[in-house]
Amino acid sequence: MEIRGRQMKRAALAAALPLALAACSGAPSDGDIKAALLADQKRSEAQAEALAAGSGPAADMVRQLSAQSRVEVVSAHKLGCKEDGEKAYRCDVEVEVSRGGKTVKAPPASIRLVKGSDGWMAQR
């Protein structure tokens, strides 16, 4: 009886091992991709705000363009990833964005993601 229990435990471990290794494959997850896109968006918004910090017609124009082009990343779905250097992957993704309360799915795009000390970063 005890031998049979050990065999069942080994079988369960053998079945779970490929799943555990797949989870550690290194490629970014859907959540990692969304977080990287959101971080990139925040950096872009901060740059636009810095440009619009002054006064005058140019600053007003930058503020207006920034407000009109603002979108929110709703979701990111990884279609596939390939290694693209050390700690880097090129991923094909589908992204849903919301603008003015309307959500649309953008066409699939290829994004390079690099793993840094603060997590995944999107590169253009």
Domain that holds residue 107: 29-123
- Asked if the structure places residue 91 within a domain, the reply is yes
Count the domains in the chain.
1
Predicted TM-score (pTM) of this structure:
0.68
pLDDT at position 5 over 60 = no
pLDDT tens, 63-95?
Answer: 777 676 678 899 999 999 999 999 999 999 999
CA distances from 4 to 7, 12, 16, 17, 21 (A): 5, 12, 18, 20, 26
CATH number at residue 66: 3.10.450
